[in-house]
Amino acid sequence: MNSLHGSQAGNSVIDGATKASSPQNTALPGVVPHPQAEVDRYVATGAWGTRSLPTAFRQAATTYAERTALITPDTRLTYRELDARSDAVAARLLSSGLLPGERVLLQLTNSATAVIAWYGLLKAGLIPVCTLAIHRRLEIEQIGRQSGAVAHLVQADFPSFDLVGLAQEVADLLPAMRQLVTVGAAPDKAGLRIEDLQDHEISNKEQAGLLEIAGSLDVHGPAVLQLSGGTTGTPKIIPRLHAEYRYNAGLTSGWWGHTEQSVLAFGLPLAHNAALINGLHAAHDVGAALLLATPGADVMLPLMAEHGATWTMSPPGLAEEYLSHPAFDDAVARLSTWVLTAARVPRPVFDELTGRGVHVTQAFGMSEGLFLFTPLDAHADLRAQTVGVPISPLDEVRVLRPGTEAEVAEGETGELAARGPYTIRGYLAAPDRDREAFTAEGFYRSGDLVRTRRYAGTLSYSIEGRAKDLVDRGGEKINAEEVELLVAGHPAVAEIALVGMPDPRLGERGCAYVVPRDPLNPPTLAGICAYLEAQGLAKYKWPERLELIDALPRTQIGKISKVALRADIGAKLKHETRICPPLSCF
């Protein structure tokens, strides 16, 4: 991978942009726009404002300059400090030859430097592509090719995998890739180090160039590219726009009542849509502090206690682990709200948190848009048994009979579909997928089966299952078809079906039902995992249990019956005290 440190290619952007390299001429092809009538409505109601993400943060940094913006285990930054460091990163990224509108793959863990890098990218007019540190060659190559990424920002000191080596491997596969950027690398390593860039003192001319870029960004254009957990073999890319991302974050901070006195504790990966909207941008929308760490109780809970966390969000399995930790009561002493994120929250977890003096609510969200939150003042049953209501008055929600565009009656189970000011109108350059994923009226089919429930007149939604073929492992959506297509290439596998099996901590793990080619010489789970590793598939997608079977169950029309397989593994787990370690690759 070439390092363009010292190249003059990007200097015109800082020193007075030429028309050829100006941000307004770098529109990303393949973004499906909202119909103009919808745009006009969202603008007229004030849902879509006129400020881009970097402009909004810069204004917050001016208003709340000396307030704490970010807390991590080893760093505490004010808004002024975060603004200055991210300005420096933005200026140096541009002087390296990167241009506004170009895409940058992210593979970072939670840290102050990652947040500085995030805002630096936005201020430079670059578009982050939110992959994860746990993704591997197969996913990164596909996503890099689809997005047209030209740079790769990686966590060089990621403890379990050489992400710098992965970036170099991917660069050899993608001719457009030309710049390596790192967090956590040693000073003598290749590429641009964010730690070096953030210490750069920018000139008045560079500052003026950054302001020009931020002011010329199309607020109705893409700011961030998220990833879908859809059902097709290749991950789909989700363009999220400046205007609707800002609106989404503002709705979130308003819903939970955040103020500049709030401290939001977050342990999920920063690049997740949930972390960016509910954590980073929601906090900085109102001058609050974001407390960002890894989710481990030994790290997160003492930080929450020390800094007086007022709000947090986590899966219920993580909350259950926290409950038994000796620092729990101190950590929640100032907590006003604990938001649980899962399709179904176990009532014992809800009740135990409540019994410890914590006000518990639920949330459901998708990278494609729609958020459902339970109201803060709702009855406990609504907060315990549903994921709530749409958070915007402009959200339009329908519950459809699966496979049709007909709505079901109230109280019946159907597929959740949505349209609104922060729900996408299409994936990036994926018209075939769009025809399946959207109704004729532009409602996004979520693939989640829901049922409406009424509590004291409030119509709320509960998640009843999935129409899409996914495994939800700790919030990471695993596309069953992607794994099945790869496992099917194993020489000992005749047929394969991947289903989610219940797991008390992660919600689900993947279980592979395999028909062996030779029953006398069947594949092993370890062998399948080794095969997937060689294919470059991220480890979290590997099956964690193997069930050998003579034939896969079929429906009357000949399709594999995953309903029967899920029922089978569920029944087996009920008779087991735990998942057998020898069967797991983890």
Task: Give the CATH number of the domain where residue 514 resides.
Answer: 3.30.300.30
Q: How far is CA 233 from the centre of its chain?
A: 18
- Give the least confident one: 27-31, 117-121, 192-196, 322-326: 27-31
Alpha carbon distance 427, 467 (integer Å): 19
Q: Percent of the chain scored above 90 by pLDDT?
A: 82
pLDDT digits (tens, 9 = 90+) for 391-436: 999 999 999 998 899 999 999 999 999 999 999 999 999 999 999 9
* Radius of gyration in angstroms for the set of CA atoms belonging to the chain, rounded to a whole number: 24
Q: What is the pLDDT of residue 446?
A: 93
- The reply to whether 385 falls in a domain is no
Looking at per-residue confidence, does 529 or 190 come out higher? 529
- The reply to whether 183 falls in a domain is yes
Does the pLDDT at position 292 exceed 70? Answer: yes
3-state class of 394 per DSSP?
Answer: coil
Q: What is the pLDDT of residue 16?
A: 36
Please state the domain count of the chain: 2
Average pLDDT over residues 44-59: 97
Q: What does pLDDT average to over the chain?
A: 91
End-to-end CA distance of the chain: give it in Å, rounded.
Answer: 32
Q: What is the pLDDT of residue 232?
A: 53
Among 210, 240, 270, which residue terminates a domain? 240
Identity of the residue numbered 106? L
Q: Nearest 5°: phi and psi at 490? A: -70, 130
Average pLDDT over residues 219-245: 87
Average pLDDT over residues 65-87: 98
- The reply to whether 300 falls in a domain is no
Does the pLDDT at position 9 exceed 90? Answer: no
Among 185, 218, 240, which residue terminates a domain? 240
Looking at per-residue confidence, does 507 or 585 come out higher? 507
Q: What is the pLDDT of residue 585?
A: 54
From the number of C-beta atoms within 10 Å of its C-beta (0-12, 13-18, 19+), residue 487 rates as buried
Q: What is the pLDDT of residue 476?
A: 87
Q: What is the pLDDT of residue 18?
A: 33
- The reply to whether 425 falls in a domain is no
- The reply to whether 40 falls in a domain is no
Of 317, 413, 401, 314, the residue nearest 360 (C-alpha) = 314
Average pLDDT over residues 144-148: 96
Does the pLDDT at position 581 exceed 60? Answer: no
Q: What is the pLDDT of residue 586?
A: 55
Q: What is the pLDDT of residue 3?
A: 44
pLDDT digits (tens, 9 = 90+) for 541-574: 999 999 999 999 987 666 788 889 999 999 999 8
- The reply to whether 251 falls in a domain is no
Among 213, 240, 267, which residue terminates a domain? 240
- The reply to whether 519 falls in a domain is yes
Both tokens of residue 321?
């682990």
DSSP-derived secondary structure for 221-273: SEEEEEE---SSSSPPEEEEEHHHHHHHHHHHHHHHT--TT-EEEE-S-TTSH
Say which DSSP state 467 is in.
S
Alpha carbon distance 104, 225 (integer Å): 10
Alpha carbon distance 508, 503 (integer Å): 5
- Give the least confident one: 18-22, 285-289, 347-351, 529-533: 18-22
Q: What is the pLDDT of residue 464?
A: 87
Q: Percent of the chain scored above 70 by pLDDT?
A: 92
Does the pLDDT at position 1 exceed 70? Answer: no
Average pLDDT over residues 538-543: 95
Residue 586 has a CB neighbour count (10 Å cut-off) of 10
Does the pLDDT at position 229 exceed 70? Answer: no
Does the pLDDT at position 146 exceed 50? Answer: yes
The residue range of the domain holding 491 is 471-583
Average pLDDT over residues 26-52: 94
Does the pLDDT at position 19 exceed 60? Answer: no
- Give the least confident one: 35-39, 78-82, 189-193: 189-193
Q: What is the CATH number of the domain that holds 211?
A: 3.40.50.980
- The reply to whether 149 falls in a domain is yes
